[in-house]
Structure 1
Amino acid sequence: MLIGDISAATGVDRQTIRFYERQGLLPEPRRAPNGYRAYDEATIDRLRFIRAAQGAGLTLADIAEVLSLRDGGQAPCSHMSVVLEQKLAEVRSRHQELAVLAAELEHLIETGRSLDPAECRPTDICRIISFK
């Protein structure tokens, strides 16, 4: 299959497929006599895995580790479980950070509602956000 066929089958654009090749996420395809990349069916599954893993929040580095294990003949399930647990911990931590930020934004909005713009001095940038 040519790169256009792989792109159509997976919804991954050609530039992204080439990028994944350069990053080592996809094996170097064989070349047809005309120099075109010639892919096999396994590329489709690999691209679908990469996209699904990205959807689960994995980075390309995370994905590369999993693919390397698989390519080395190991089942990556244990490694993947650890990576997913780490991702969940990161998401939970980020969720807490966002909750704190949301509370701060709510406070600033309330502050803004109580201020009279007519009382702003020319030297004030914006009194809603206090930096003094």
Structure 2
Amino acid sequence: MRIGELAQQTGLTTKTVRYYEQIGLMEEPDRHTNGYRDYGDDAAERLRFIRDAQAAGLTLAETGEIIGMKAAGQSTCAHTRDLLALHLAEVDAQIDRLLATRNELRAMAERAAAMNPESCNDPARCQVIEARAAAEAAPPRRAPHHRLLPLA
């Protein structure tokens, strides 16, 4: 099959297929006498694997490692599991950073909403941002200590 048919079958562009050939993820196909590429059915399966690996968060280099291991007759399950665990940990860390950023933005928005709009009259400074810095510099507030009084 020609490159256009292969690209359409796999949902990729012809440019992407050529790129994958260039970096070694796809084998060079046979060529007709007119120079057109002639792909076998295994090419579509390989492209779907590459696409699915990317959708799972694997890089092209990692996908190439797996393809190389398979070509060498090695089992890839443990290697793939380790790669996925690594990417999952990276995603979890990114989610933690995003949640911390969200909390900080929420706190700043609440401080901004509580501020008197008329106090925002100095074009050289931003009281909302400065309020954040002041809140960070302030010593932590201690919870009030309550004494129990004897009942009369």
Structure 1 residue matching 2:128: 3-state secondary structure:
coil
Give the TM-score normalised by the residue count of structure 2: 0.78
State the 4+ residue runs in structure 1 displaced beyond 6 angstroms. Answer: none
Q: Residue 30 and residue 128 in structure 1: after superposition, are their counterparts in 2 closer, same or farther (change >3 A)?
A: farther
User: What's the counterpart of residue 141 of structure 2?
Assistant: none
Q: CA deviation at 1:84?
A: 1.0
The separation in 2 between residues aligned to 1:88 and 1:32, in whole angstroms, is 44
Quick check: 1:27 aligned with 2:27?
yes
User: What is the distance in 2 between the residues matched to 1:30 and 1:58?
Assistant: 28
Question: RMSD between aligned alpha carbons?
Answer: 1.6
Unaligned runs of 5+ in 2: 134-152
Structure 1 CA distance for aligned equivalents of residues 91 and 25 of structure 2: 25
- Who wins on radius of gyration, i.e. which is larger? 2
Structure 2 partner of 1:122: 123
Q: 2: CA distance between counterparts of 1:60 and 1:48? A: 13
Percent identical: 40
Tell me the secondary structure at the aligned position of residue 12 of structure 1: coil
Aligned residue identity for 1:99: L
Question: Which runs of 5 or more residues in structure 1 are unaligned?
Answer: none
Q: CA deviation at 1:28?
A: 1.3
